[in-house]
Structures are given as structure tokens and as C-alpha cells.
Chains A and B, each alone.
Chain A
Amino acid sequence: MICWSCQKQAGAGPLCAACGALQPPDDAADLFAVLGLPARYAVDLAAGEAAYKDLSRQVHPDRYATADPRARRASLARTVQLNQAWRTIKDPVRRAEYLLTRAGIDIGGKQPTPGGDEKRTVEVGAPPAFLMEILELNDELAAAQRKGDTVKVAFMAEEMRARARETMKTIAAALDAGVPAQLHEAARSLVALRYYLRFIEQASGQEAKLEGGSGAG
């Protein structure tokens, strides 16, 4: 990459190795690499957050408010990418989805693959038996909510949360197993997880969040 400011080799970092000017990002960069993390499910979130904040301090538009327009554009694009990377990686579900997308497995996510190769994409859907079960559970939940049976609603939500946590563990193990066949297993579990989370949302009236889900380093 040639630096826009000094026309010399800029190097790989955000700042030009020769003159220190902020460089535009590589749009196809891997989001784990943006934060300097290994591309795996078990990430060190504390290290990720520290890297995110350090890099933010370097590239944030607040640092370039009165700079050259080219540096300002680079700052904006860098920060957009950095925010995207941290948002994806800090959330267990989005992190899992991204790891699958990287591996060419599309689970109907709406974010396009950065630099993804469409021909390699494998689509994963939910098996009919699973869908039937979820439909029945939804009906049961709706009936309980109609009757105002808050105890039952809370119980069903809690049961589903336990199921979601178990599924997340399965996904984590499958993603980091290093066996391609297991990735499809992870993808199927992730599709199931989405139904579970939607169910929890409906039961609790709040966005469902999974805590943590990371191992150390």
C-alpha cells in the first residue's frame, strides 16, 4: 500500500510507516485480524476490548476533526470497520455466525461476507421436525400468555434459556474443533439457537442476550 500523503510504502499498520499519516482500511480485512485476535470462537474478550479501545484512540474521527479531508475519510472508514469488528466479536452469537461466514457457510445472515466467495457458500436450513417442535412450543407460550399465566411463561422462558446456553456450548466446541464436518453441525445448532432466542424474546418481551460465551485466550 502506497501512502496517500508521502507516496512511500505505508506498511501494514493504520499509520503510514514513513510519515505517520492515517491510511484507509482494507475493506476485505478479516474482522479478527482488525483487532489482532486469533480467528476462533474462544477469544480473550478482555484483550479484544483493550485492543478495540487502543485502536479507537488512534483512528477515531475525534482525533482527525481538523485534519486533511483524506485523513478524515480514512479515520471514518477505519473506525467504521473497527466498530464493526468489535460488535461482531464481542457478541457470542454474532461471533459464531461470522466464523461460519468466513468458512463459507451461509446461515441466512443478512451481513454480506467481506470478500466472500459466493460459489463456496453452503446454505443451512432447519429440519422440519425441529420446526414442528418450535411451532408447538410457540403455541403453548401464546396460550399461556393469553391466559395470563405468568408463572408458566417465566418457566418456559427459563427452560428455553437453559437450552440456548447448552446449544451455545455445542456451537463453541464445534467451531473450535478444527474439523470441517463439525462446522456444519455448528451451523445447524446456530439456526436452532436463533429460534430459541426469538422464543425467549417473545416470552420475556425483551431482547434476548447471551452472556459471555468466551474462554480465556
Chain B
Amino acid sequence: MAEALFQIAEPGESRAKHACRTRAVGIDLGTTNSLVAIVDAGRPAALADEQGRAMVPSVVHYAGDGRVVVGEDARDRLAADFPRDTIASVKRFMGRGRHDAEATRKLTPYRFASVDGHAASDEGVVRFAVAGERAVTPLEVSAEILRVLRARAEEALGGPLQGAVITVPAYFDDGQRQATRDAGRLAGLEVLRLLNEPTAAALAYGLDKQAEGTFAVFDLGGGTFDVSILKLENGVFEVKSTGGDSALGGDDFDRAVAEALLARAGAAGTTDAHVVRRVLDAARAIKEQLTTETKAAIDVALAPGKTTTLRLTRDEMEALVAPVLQRCAPPLKRAMADAGVERGHLSGVILVGGATRMPLVRRFVEEWFGQKPLADIDPDEVVALGAAIQADMLAGGAGHGDVLLLDVVPLSLGLETMGGVAEKLIHRNTTVPCGAKQTFTTFADKQTGFDLHVVQGERELVAECRSLARFTLKGIPPMPAGMARLEVSFMVDADGILRVSAREETTGQEAAIEVKPSYGLTDDEVEKMILDSFAHAEDDVKARLLAEQRVEADGIVAAARAAMRDSPEMLETGEREEIERALGGVEAARGGSDHHAIRLAIEALDHASKPFATRRMNRALEQGFRGRDVDAVDAKLGGR
């Protein structure tokens, strides 16, 4: 009651802004770019950096001195000079093994480390060998990206977070999901939920547009392809089926283009990491240019001192990319069949992911579904916005009505049985959370242990499914063969992650389970990483923010001094003193260790020098355009 009266008595909007805001965020951890979004005053919005950029390139650079650089700088500057130490598209390695297709590709700038204990086996997690004699797992690389997003969100919300919803491709298997959740924990986030990307997009879209009916979400990102069929009705978002390919995306288009460009330039099969990085970047730039243009050309240094101009027309690119794009067709067909929906009966097709900007992809979707796809929400942001809505709901945010998300298991889960056959316990497209039980018996007298192999996939044979983990059940009471009855329970939680437990039925004794993930880290390994990072995590984020602000301070101080040196005549009385005072403030703050203080000092300097800077700018413009006709000046100004 007091609360309500207080609300009425409070005329300002400050209360609405702060009290109605949960401190939970949505994170789209993408192959190419990542974003963080929050719900503020009832609407989801992506958080931008000081330059207004919401997207953080998912590129992580490891420097020789132990520093880690994430984002634009890593992508635009460091990747070219240090291709081996600058990891891009790490998402494609999440939950993958050292012998997976991704790690054994010819066209890769990376070097993989072999690590004791895993080296002898076909299984085991991928590790990148980077500067400073370090070997980092994809999980750790992803955690670096998440730390940057967490710092951005904490800055915006002015304090620690309640938790985060992190999105994953719907078609991610159990190992990929676990790796993502562990990366979140390593980055110091309370992971409230892993949310499937197409479902996140549908949530953002459905709530924004008040959409009802059966929709297909076509999500083609940098590295993954997902399709989900959802029924939207009275606030219920029910996934009917999902399908995809967790190794198909814009990266594969780049690779197809890059291979063709290299072949043309007579450099096919190069293993020079610098050349590979440059050609992959050139292919991406050409692909992006060809979204709006019909031809593109770009200069690339293929050998020291030898620059080659690579040219491509849109038609040529489409011919290179079309076979890759065709790989979307079988998952689309199966998802529609699984949902029991005919192509003509969809209310709409929602486009998600950067690759859906390509005209070829849009034509493909339109032809396949026989209707024009919807892209009214920015396909780069829609997933993060949906995740923010889900995070707000989970954290108890008001105003979401009766929204209910019902998602599914993307791939069947089973156990290896006699003869290497995979017996499915949980079938694909079963609504999560879900469970299943299976009873086994011992085959030897006094047998006290039991080995189980958990697999995921649709194929009949274990060898053709994804190996998730091997379990050893121990502590079965000694009994004659066939007497012990072991009940193995599978349970898939709302994150789509499997938990296995076992019980000996006749005695009721819980069997201890020892997990050995096939392509991941054990819980102990992850715990150790988290403990190690705990001591440093806070410091790391602060150190990075501090370093960034110092660089900016140096730049602005140098620029201001140069301007005063160049144009002393433009300073008005007392202005020099005022700017000097502000400069002194920046320099003093730069020497401290508080990044906030530096930021404030920079703003003060900006403020003090603004009239002077404006005068200089005006004069430069006047001089630059003197003698030209007015229309040309207008055109030039308008164009910028």
C-alpha cells in the first residue's frame, strides 16, 4: 500500500526507469558478432559502446604480454598482423573435438595445441596455441567475449548483474550447449537460461508485432544454420520442430569465395596464416559489398610486396555460394515434415542472422517457402532482443502477461547398446524439459560397475551419431549376473542440457556416476578454471576499461595540444588557460587507476575545448570550399 502511494506521489519518470528494470540481460554470443541487450521501460534495446556500436566483433586477440583484446581492434588491426593469435568464429569450435572437420580444415589461420591426457585419444577438446605459450580452449575464448559484454552491461546498469540469458543455435548439441553455459560461468555470469536463437527471434518478433499463427524462423548466421517452426497463440510460443546444421553459415560462403579467389591468383592451397587471414577477410568484404553492388574489387597482399587486385561480380559470387546454400534445403524439408506443416500454410517466415542480408539468400528463402520473408526487425539484433525479454521474464520483470515458451530437443538422445546400435531414449522435437528411463542388468557375477556411452543424433549406428559422454556407474552391490537392475534416467532440462543419473532398483542404491565428456571439459576442469579466473576476473575487466580510456585520453590530449600549437590566434582570452586546466585534469586522471575518472576528465576537456574546436572546423571548411560553387559544397556536406 505504501508502495502504491509512493508511486502516485512520485511524478518523475525516474522511478519507472529504475524500479521496473530487472538487472538481467540477454546475450547473443554470435559467430561473427555478439551483442548484449536489456529490457528498459518495457522495451528491449541493445546496449551500445561509447561510439554507438551495439555489435562487438567476436574476435579475440592474445598478445605476447598476456593482454587480451576483444572486438573491433582485434578484428580490424590485430588479426592481420597476428593471425595465429587472433581467434575469430570461435563459436564453430565450441564443444568440438580436435579431429572435427572444423579443426582439420586446410584453410585455417590457427595452430592447434596438443595437450597431455587428450593427445592419445581421438576425442578431447580443441585448444588454440596462441602467443605467450598459451593454449586456450574455445570455452575460454568465448568467455573473453562474454566478459566484455558483461562489463558493458554493468556499466549501463551501474552495478552487478542478476543474471544472463545466453542464446545458442537451436541445433547445438549437448556438448556445444554445455561449453556455452560454462563459458558464461567462466565470465562470471549467472546463466539463467540458454535460449535457442530462433525461439528468441520469434519471441521478439511475436511480442513486437502481436503475431499469431504458425511461423518459420530461418536463421543463417556467420557459422550456424537453424530453422524452427513455431506456433504462436495467446502468448504461447510453441516450437513444433527444429532443424539445422551447426557448421553452415556466412563463414562457409567466405571460404568458398576465398578458395576461388586464391585459385584465380594462382595461390591455391596456401598455408601461410597471414595470406589465409587476408584472403578470408577480403572474401568477407567482397561478399558484403556485393549485397548492394553488382561487382567488387579489393587489393590483397598475397606475397610480401606483391599486391593483387581480386575482382568478383555478384553473379560469380552467387555461383560459388549457391552449392553451400543448398545445404539448407534438407534441414528445411525435415523440419517442415516433423512439424506436420505444409509450405503454403505458414503465416510468415522470419529472417534472422547477418547472412540473410544477401540477396541470394532472400531469393532462396522466398522461392523455397513460396512467400516473401519478414525482416522488419534488424536481423542482427533480433536474437539479443528476444534474449533480453526472456531474461527480464526469468528475473521476475512485470508486464509480460502470460508468455510461455515451449522449446524442444533438437537431436535424439540415446545410449549405445549391443552391436554399436544407438537406442534412442528421447526423440528429437520432444518438448523440454523431458525425461526417460531405461533399465539394464549386469552380465557378470558380482559385477560392481557398468559402462554407458551416451550419444546424440538420428542415425541407427553409434559410429554415425555424436558421442556426448561415457559414464561409469560404480558401487553396484555384488550380485549374481542378471540380478542387479540398473535404472538409468535421462533428463533434459529447460536449457536443453542432458543430465544422467542411475539407481540400482533392488537395493535402491544410487550409483555414482563418473562423467567423461567426449568433446568437452569435465566439471572439475571447468571449476578449476573458474576458481583461477575468480581472483583475476574483476581486475581483468577494470584493467581493460582502464587501458581503453588511457589510449583515448592520450589521443585527445595530443590532438588538443596540436590544435593550440597550430592556431594560437583562434584562442579567445582566457580560453587557453581553461583548456590547459582541463588538460591537466585528464593527465592527472590518466595517472590514476579509475577509468570513470578518466572518462569524466575527457568529457570536461571536450566541453572546455568545444568552442575553439568548432571555430577551427569552420575555418577549415571555409578554406576548403573557397572558390567552389555553393551546390558542390552542399553536396559534399550532405554526403557526409
Contact = CB atoms under 8 A, between A and B. Distances in A.
Interface of A: 53, 56-57, 60-62, 65-66, 76, 79-80, 83-84, 86-87, 110-112, 206-207, 209
A110 B424 CA distance: 10
B512 interface: no
Nearest to A65: B394
Interface of A is mostly: helix
A57 B394 CA distance: 13
Contact of A112 (B405, B434, B439, B493): B439
A193 to B, nearest CB: 18
B527 to A, nearest CB: 19
Interface in B171-191: none
Contacts of B395: 65-66
25 contacts: A60-B494, A61-B433, A62-B193, A62-B404, A62-B494, A66-B163, A66-B192, A66-B395, A76-B491, A79-B433, A79-B494, A80-B434, A83-B430, A83-B432, A84-B435, A86-B431, A87-B430, A87-B431, A87-B434, A111-B436, A112-B437, A112-B439, A207-B337, A207-B338, A209-B340
Contacts of A209: 340
Given A80-B435, A112-B437, A62 B337 contact: no
Interface of B: 162-163, 192-193, 236, 337-338, 340, 390, 393-396, 402, 404-406, 430-439, 491, 493-494
B496 to A, nearest CB: 12
A210 to B, nearest CB: 11
Contacts of A76: 433, 491, 493-494
Contact of A56 (B338, B404, B437): B404
B236 A53 contact: yes
Contacts of A86: 431
Given A53-B404, A60-B404, A62-B404, A80 B491 contact: yes
A130 B315 CA distance: 59
Max chain A C-beta neighbours (<10 A), residue from B192, B396, B435, B439: B435
B82 to A, nearest CB: 41
B102 to A, nearest CB: 30
Max chain B C-beta neighbours (<10 A), residue from A60, A66, A110: A66
Given A65-B163, A66-B395, 19 more contacts: A53-B236, A56-B404, A61-B433, A62-B193, A62-B390, A62-B404, A62-B494, A65-B395, A66-B394, A76-B494, A80-B434, A83-B433, A87-B431, A87-B434, A110-B438, A112-B437, A112-B439, A206-B337, A207-B337
Nearest to A67: B396
Contacts, number: 58
A153 to B, nearest CB: 17
Contacts of B337: 206-207
A4 B402 CA distance: 27
A84 B434 contact: yes
Nearest to A79: B433
A61 B337 CA distance: 29
A61 B404 contact: no
Contacts of B430: 83, 87
B434 A61 contact: no
A98 to B, nearest CB: 14
Nearest to B405: A62
A83 B431 contact: yes
Contacts of B404: 53, 56-57, 60, 62
A86 B433 CA distance: 13
B435 A65 contact: no
Nearest to B334: A206
Nearest to B436: A111
A79 B437 CA distance: 16
A126 to B, nearest CB: 21
Contacts of A206: 337
A24 to B, nearest CB: 13
B433 A80 contact: yes
A25 to B, nearest CB: 11
Contacts of A62: 193, 390, 393-394, 404-405, 494
Contacts of B491: 76, 80
A104 to B, nearest CB: 18
Nearest to B403: A62
Contacts of A83: 430-434
Contacts of A61: 433, 493-494
A86 B238 CA distance: 13
A87 B408 CA distance: 12
B192 A65 contact: yes
Given A83-B434, A84-B434, A56 B394 contact: no
A111 B193 CA distance: 29
A190 B525 CA distance: 49
**Ranked 4 nearest A-B pairs via Cβ:** A65-B394, A61-B494, A80-B435, A83-B431
A62 B432 CA distance: 12
Contacts of B393: 62
A74 B163 CA distance: 21
Nearest to B193: A65
Nearest to A114: B437
A27 B548 CA distance: 56
Nearest to B406: A56
A198 to B, nearest CB: 13
A157 to B, nearest CB: 14
Nearest to A57: B404
Max chain A C-beta neighbours (<10 A), residue from B192, B433, B434: B433
Contacts of A110: 438
Contact of A57 (B402, B435, B439): B402
B500 to A, nearest CB: 14
Max chain B C-beta neighbours (<10 A), residue from A57, A80, A84, A110: A80
B396 A66 contact: yes
Nearest to B333: A206
Contacts of A84: 434-435
B495 to A, nearest CB: 9
Contacts of B394: 62, 65-66
A53 B338 CA distance: 21
Nearest to A64: B394
B335 to A, nearest CB: 12
Nearest to A78: B433
Max chain B C-beta neighbours (<10 A), residue from A57, A65, A86, A207: A65
Nearest to A204: B337
A209 B241 CA distance: 14
A110 B440 CA distance: 12
A207 B334 CA distance: 10
Contacts of B402: 57
